[in-house]
Structure formats: structure tokens, C-alpha cells
Amino acid sequence: MKIYTYDNSFEGLLTAVFECYRRKDFPVDICARNVQSRHLFLENVDIQTDPQKAERVWNGVQAKMSDANKQLLFYAFLSEEQGIEMKIYRFLRRLFSGYMNLETDYGDLDVMALTQSSQKVKKEAMRIMQFVRFQRAKDGMFFCGIEPKFDVLPLVVTHYQKRFADQRWLIYDLQRNYGVYYDKNKVEEVEISKKQFNAFNGQVKQALLDEGEDFYQKLWCSYFKHINIEERKNLRLQLQHMPRRFWKYLPEKQAGA
Amino acid sequence: MDEKIQKKLAILSDAAKYDVSCASSGSTRKNTGNGIGNGVAAGICHSFTDDGRCISLFKILMTNHCMYDCAYCVNRRTNDRPRATLSPQEIVDLTIGFYRRNYIEGLFLSSGVIKNPDFTMERMVLTAKKLRAEENFYGYIHLKAIPGASPELIEEAGIWADRLSVNMEIPTEPNLKKLAPEKNYPDIISPMTQIRNSILISKEERRKFRSAKQFAPAGQSTQLIVGATPETDREIILLSSGLYQNQNLKRVYFSGYLPVNDYDKRLPAISRPPLVRENRLYQSDWLMRFYHFKAEEILTEDHPFLDLDVDPKLGYALRNMHLFPVDINKADYEMILRVPGIGVLSAQKIIMARRHRRLTTLTLKELGVVLKRARYFITCNELAAKFSDWDPVRLKRQLVINTHSKYRKSPDTQLELFADFKPVLPTLH
């Protein structure tokens, strides 16, 4: 009876899976090192992340999954749900034992749970595509600070890179304190130490904003107000599509608008 | 200058809000690397107004001056309203400004008709051309084709735009004549047919040469006003089904009639827009487009209106109780799709999942099936519930009570006093 601990990265989890196979072991639980253990009196095996081992496991997964589901496990992992590690582990056991089309076996509770978790992460990524609002700074850079529920910035980078190929932009994750910066050539991860923006709602300091920015925000708010049909008012429907936690980043939802 | 634009924007967006279409889906136009924007096949909604409708495209009229006097339209010639016109360059600047800030997916340009249809259409095409050619814009553009515009202009519009639409507004010709005497059906149908043909030709050519020009890659759509004229739901559904089949439309939108010109006696006096009826029509539309239903199956000749209490799929099931219960573990896809409470995604998942093991109600629940409705119409691994011999009327009552939401508003169409009333004697004519 053992529990495996790892460093809470996806690579770490894949290494742990690799180690399970190497040691011919089936742990009771796999959990992150810094998480309070849920078990008493169990032997603890700490796994050091090894990119090579992780890659071997990942390649094995890629070879066995269908095209549409190649990222299923990674997305499910991003959901940060408690106990997701064992679900992934049991899934991998069945996958590597030669089971075909495992990802469509929705009758199995693990497969179902993984599908649902990955769906949740994908939905959050979609929301980031919807509700990012750039503010133009004086130097021509477009900035947006936002706080996704899961760590989904890496999933939306290609979308923004393709879309805004001719402008410099920076999307900053306010909670996880890192951002993605695009300089018309390549994308890189950045961390800002001296913040020139409000860490709560990502609002850039007025002095740094482009002169036209205020005008466009005003136009947008006025458009938002006038395109609404008063007779059809349905606030519940609005809330359902646009959760309240995003409102603080949206100019059209500010009190003054 | 800035203030002037702001005023114009307020007037013209206010005038554009009655166009329902806001889809930005169906286009995969790619950014070549030096421009701005791209198409996303699924479409993205960037905001939602207080009425719960999405803002995906920057929806605006080029002008709300109009030479026509259509009874149902807020911008009719005889209405005393503030009027404004945006120049093509102003629309381009606004679109790009909004797009760069990720407020929108693209532009939806419509217009009142000034001078003549060709003059109006030409300016709209010019706007789209400016966006594509001068600003290197690869985002979504939806252009309204003005009825009566020359074929050459519509041909050019299709080259710059992702989607074209010609609004039918009134479902039958006599009623159109009554409400909009200056318009006629051939002027609406002929651009529609032209767009259909051009799309088909362009698709065929692109099959042979990858570099062939795309023509409206996201297809064409139209809009019907519901509740302004006395057409039955059956007529509307048959019409839209015909449009899907004959004109290859991507979407038919329904717009619940809003009493914008309540002084006009040709229009019905209603206090609220028929939102539930509109919703039921959309549900029927979905049944035709995604659930393999035929228009004739949704409404029969003796039931020309949709039931406002239950959705059309449930209505179909209640009329055809002999088809149920359906065995989830054996029935084919088509039949599973017809079970109330099972959507397209759940049906597909059921088909995939049952190859691995027999499915139980628990699995169905996890898959997203609404068992509250579905359980009366299915059998699965467990012992079957004895619902199949229920009288449809009793079953309907049970389902309506079960799904009654405390948020439900009172019905917005007139109640019928004699819903089940059948005259004893045949009616005299």
C-alpha cells in the first residue's frame, strides 16, 4: 500500500505513471507533494519529474488515442480536480493494456469523469476567447488582464496569434501571475514585476493608455446599450451566457457605462 | 467629430437591432500573416445584451434613411425618427477599432434603401471591399443583399463577404403586398437564387482549383417576422423547410413581431412580442436541421400551430406513442434522436458508448440525457417502467407539471377558450 507524490505538473504525473509500470506497482493514490495527504499510515513514494520518462508515456498515449481526443488527458489534468490523478492513472492502465477506442467508453465512470473535466477546461478556454478585452497602450501594445478559472492561457495562444498577427498584444493571467506576450513574430511567456495595471480588474493606468482608447470604449458601451431590445429583456439568459465573474473586465458592464 | 460619430452610432445601432441574425460561424477564412483577423468555424460570441441575445458581429445600418414604407419596419419613410448615415470609411474605422480590442468577430452591414437599391448596395460592397483590400481584414463580414440590386453587385458582394442574406420578412406573398406594397417576391427570390448558384459554382471550382475565389463561404440566410401576419406555424415551417432544400440556406431566422408602429391598423395589436412561439419555431427549425425531422412530421394539417406548453419534439412523441418506448441499447441513431430529452451530442455518445457495454440509466444521466423527460420514452438495462400504456393526455400533463419552472412567465399569445372545441355540426360555407 503506497501513495505516490509528484510536483503537481503534468510531466510529473506522467513520470509517476512511468514509475508505477517500472516498479510493477499499483498505488492507492497519486497526489501532489504540497497537498495535505488524505491517507494516514501509508508508505509515501516521492517521484522526481523526469522529462524523458514523461515523454515516453505521452508518446504512448498519442499513439493510442484518436485524433480528436489526443489532448483529453492534458485538458482533464488542467481542471485541477481533486483525485483526477487516479482517474488518469486507471485510464492509462486500461489504455496500455490494449483496450481499443477507450475514450468512447462513456459507461465507465473514469472515462466519463475525464471527458467532463476536459470539457470544462475547453469551455473555460472558449470563454477566454470570448471575454478578453484589449486596451491599447500609448506604445501601441494591446493589453488584457484576466483571471481564468483554470490555467488555460496556453490553450488560447494560437487563436490570438493567428487572429492578431499584425499587432503586439499581452494577455496576463492575474491570478497565476504570468502572461503571454506577442511581438509580431513570436510568442513568449512573461512575468511582470512592476505592475502598471490594476491587479484586480486588469485596468491599465490612465496615463499609459492611448488617447483613442477612451473613445472606443465609450463607443462600445453606447453600442452595447443601443443594440439591446428593451421589450425582450431577459437578464437570466444574459447571466447564463456571460458569468458574473467576467463582468469586471468588460467595459460595457462597468457602472459608468 | 468624435461626438458626431457617437451620435450616429447610437441612432444606427438602435435601428439595426431588429435584425436577428448574429452568427459568425461557418467561415474558416485564414489570416495570411500580415493582416488582422480570421474566421472561427464555430463562431464566437463576445458579449450578451440585457435581452440575452449575443453580440458576435458589429451589427449596424449604413443608413436608416429609407425610400420604402413597410408597415412592420421601424425605419419606414413616414416615421418621424432621427436619421443618420455613416460613410464607408467611418464603418471601416469603427469595425477595425472594435475588432482590434477583441470586442467583435466582424461586421454585419445592413441598410435602409437610399436613392435606389443599386446605389445602396454599391456603398455596402465598397465598405466590405475597403475592409478586405485596404485594411487586410480577414474577420467575418455579413452583408445584406438589398432586394432589387443588380446581379453584378451581388456577385461582388459575395466575393468580399462571408455570408449574404436576403430578408423575406413576411412569409406569404399576399401579406407582403399588403404590408409592403413597394416590395415584391420576385425581387427577393431572384437574388437568393443567384447567391445559391454562385455558392454552388464556387464550391465546385474550389474542388478543382484550390486558389479559386470563394463566394460567401458561410452561405446565406434569411429572416421571417412571426406574428405580424396571420400565417400558421405550419405554413412557416413548410416555407423554411422549402428554403433549406431549394435555396440551400444555412439558416432561417425567426423574429417575433415587436409592435414598433402600433398606429398602423394593418398590424395586430399585441402588448408583448410572441417570444414563446418564436422559441418553439426555432426548436422546430433545429429538429429539421439536426434531428432528421421532416417538416410534415412536426405539424400535421389538423394541428397547424405549435403547442406552446411542450416543445415540438415532445409533441411529436406524444402524437406517436406507438413508436415508443425505444430501447437505448438496440435502437438505431435516428430513433434515439427522436426521444424527448436526448440531444444530438448525447445520442452520438450513446451510440459510441454502447459498443463497449450495456448502458444503464446512471450512464444516461452522466451523458447529459434529461431523464425527467426521457424516462417515459425509453427502456434500458433495468426493468422497464410501465409508462408506455399511459394516455398521451395524462402523460403530457405529468410532463408539463414536472418541468414547470418557477421562472416561467405567463403565455404571451392569446389563450384559447375552446382549445378542444369541436363543432357538432359541420361548418357552413
Residue B380 has a pLDDT of 85
Nearest-by-CA chain A residue for B260: A231
Q: What mean pLDDT do residues A148-158 have?
A: 94
- Please say whether the beta carbons of B112 and B11 come within 8 A: no
Nearest by CB to B100, which of A108, A142, A241?
A142
pLDDT at residue B409 in the model: 52
| pLDDT tens per residue, range A203-246 | 888 889 998 899 999 999 999 999 999 988 999 999 999 999 99
What span, in angstroms and rounded, lies between the C-alpha atoms of B268 and B265?
Answer: 7
CA nearest to B365 within chain A: A107
The C-alpha cell of B428 is what?
357552413
Please check whether residue A68 touches B, CB under 8 A.
no
A48 touches chain B (CB under 8 A): no
Is the CB of residue B187 less than 8 Å from the CB of residue B242?
no
pLDDT band, residue B411 (cuts 50/70/90): low
B18 and B42 assigned to the same domain: yes
Is residue B413 assigned to a domain? Answer: no
pLDDT surpasses 80 at B405 = no
pLDDT value of residue A40:
76
* Residue B61 belongs to a domain: yes
- Give the model's pLDDT for residue A202: 87
Q: Does B429 touch chain A (CB under 8 A)?
A: no
> What's the pLDDT score for residue B408?
56
Q: Decide which of A251 and B388 is more confident.
A: A251
Residue B269's pLDDT band (boundaries 50, 70, 90)? confident
CB contact under 8 A, A224 and B97: no
pLDDT at B166 over 60: yes
Q: Does A241 touch chain B (CB under 8 A)?
A: yes
A129 touches chain B (CB under 8 A): yes
> Is 70 exceeded by the pLDDT of residue B422?
no
pLDDT band at B144 (very low <50, low <70, confident <90, very high): very high
pLDDT of the residue at A49: 94
| Nearest CB to B45; choose among A109, A130, A226 | A130
Q: Please indicate if any CB of chain A lies within 8 Å of the CB of B18.
A: yes
Residue B17 lies in a domain: yes
- Residue A68 burial (CB < 10 Å; 0-12/13-18/19+)? exposed
Q: How far apart are CA B19 and CA B185, in angstroms?
A: 19
- State the amino acid at position B121 in one-letter form: M
Q: What is the pLDDT of residues B173-218, one digit of tens each?
A: 999 999 999 988 999 999 999 999 999 999 999 999 988 889 999 9
B98, B143: one domain: yes
Do B322 and B282 belong together in one domain? no
For the residues B350-360, what does the mean pLDDT come to? 93
Task: Indicate whether B217 and B250 sit together in one domain.
Answer: yes
| Whether residue A172 has pLDDT greater than 80 | yes
- Write the pLDDT tens digit of every residue in B127-142: 999 999 999 999 999 9
> Taking CB atoms and an 8 Å cutoff, what residues of chain B touch A112?
363, 366-367
Across the interface, do B102 and A135 touch by the CB < 8 Å criterion?
no
Q: How many percent of chain B have pLDDT more than 90?
A: 68
pLDDT tier at A42, thresholds 50, 70, 90:
confident
Reported as type and span, the H/E element at residue A54 is helix A51-64
The predicted-structure confidence for B247-258, as pLDDT tens digits, reads as follows 999 999 999 998
3-state helix, strand, coil in chain A (%, to 5): 50, 15, 35
CB contact under 8 A, B9 and A215: no
Q: Is residue B69 included in any domain, yes or no?
A: yes
pLDDT per residue over B89-101, tens digit each?
999 999 999 999 9
Task: Please give the model's pTM, rounded to 2 decimal places.
Answer: 0.90
Q: Is the pLDDT of residue B424 over 90?
A: no
Identify all chain A residues contacting B40, using CB atoms and an 8 Å cutoff. 129, 159
Q: Are B155 and B277 within one domain?
A: yes
Can you tell me the distance from the alpha carbon of A130 to that of A127, in angstroms, rounded to the nearest whole number? 5
Please give the residue range of the domain that contains residue B373.
312-402
Residue B238 has pLDDT above 70, yes or no: yes
Asked which of B275, B298, B321 is the last residue of a domain, the reply is B298
Task: Please write the tens of the pLDDT for every residue from A116-139.
Answer: 999 999 999 999 999 999 999 999
Quote the Cα angle for B146-B150-B154, to 5°: 65
pLDDT at B428: 56
Q: Where are the domains of chain A?
A: 2-124, 132-253
In order, the DSSP letters of A90-141 are: HHHHHHHTT-TTGGG-TTSHHHHHHHHHHHHHHHHHHHHHHH---EEBTTS-
Omega prior to B325 cis, within 30 of 0:
yes
B1 pLDDT tier (thresholds 50, 70, 90): low
Task: Provide the grid cell at B397.
Answer: 400533463
Q: Is residue B346 part of a domain?
A: yes
Please report the pLDDT score of residue A251 as a whole number: 92
| Minimum-distance CB partner of A232 among B44, B273, B359 | B273
Examine the domain organization and report whether B237 and B324 are in the same domain: no
- Whether the ipTM is more than 0.90: the answer is yes
B411 inside domain: no
Helix (H) or strand (E) holding A171: strand A169-173
Chain B: give the shortest CA distance to residue A29, in Å.
24
Q: Residue B404 pLDDT > 80, yes or no?
A: no
Out of B264, B298, B332, pick the residue that ends a domain.
B298
Using CB atoms, which residue from B34, B55, B366 is nearest to A227? Answer: B55
Res. A58: pLDDT tops 80: yes
Cα end-to-end distance, chain B, whole Å: 66
Rounded Cα–Cα distance for residues B41 and B36 (Å) = 17
User: Do B224 and B320 reside in the same domain of the chain?
Assistant: no
The count of domains in chain B is 2
Looking at residue B180, which CATH number applies to its domain?
A: 3.20.20.70
- Residue B86 included in any domain: yes
B414 found inside a domain: no
Asked if residues A77 and A13 have their Cβ atoms less than 8 Å apart, the reply is yes
Together in a domain, B232 and B316: no
DSSP element (H, E) containing B185: helix B185-208
B102/A166 touch (CB, cutoff 8 Å), yes or no: no
Residue B98 and residue B181 in one domain: yes
- Mean pLDDT, residues B108-123 taken together: 94
Report the alpha-carbon distance of residue B159 to residue B214 in Å, rounded: 6
- Position B414 pLDDT exceeds 70: no
Does residue B270 sit at the A interface (CB-CB below 8 Å)? no
* Nearest Cα residue to B161 out of B102, B246, B208, B221: B221
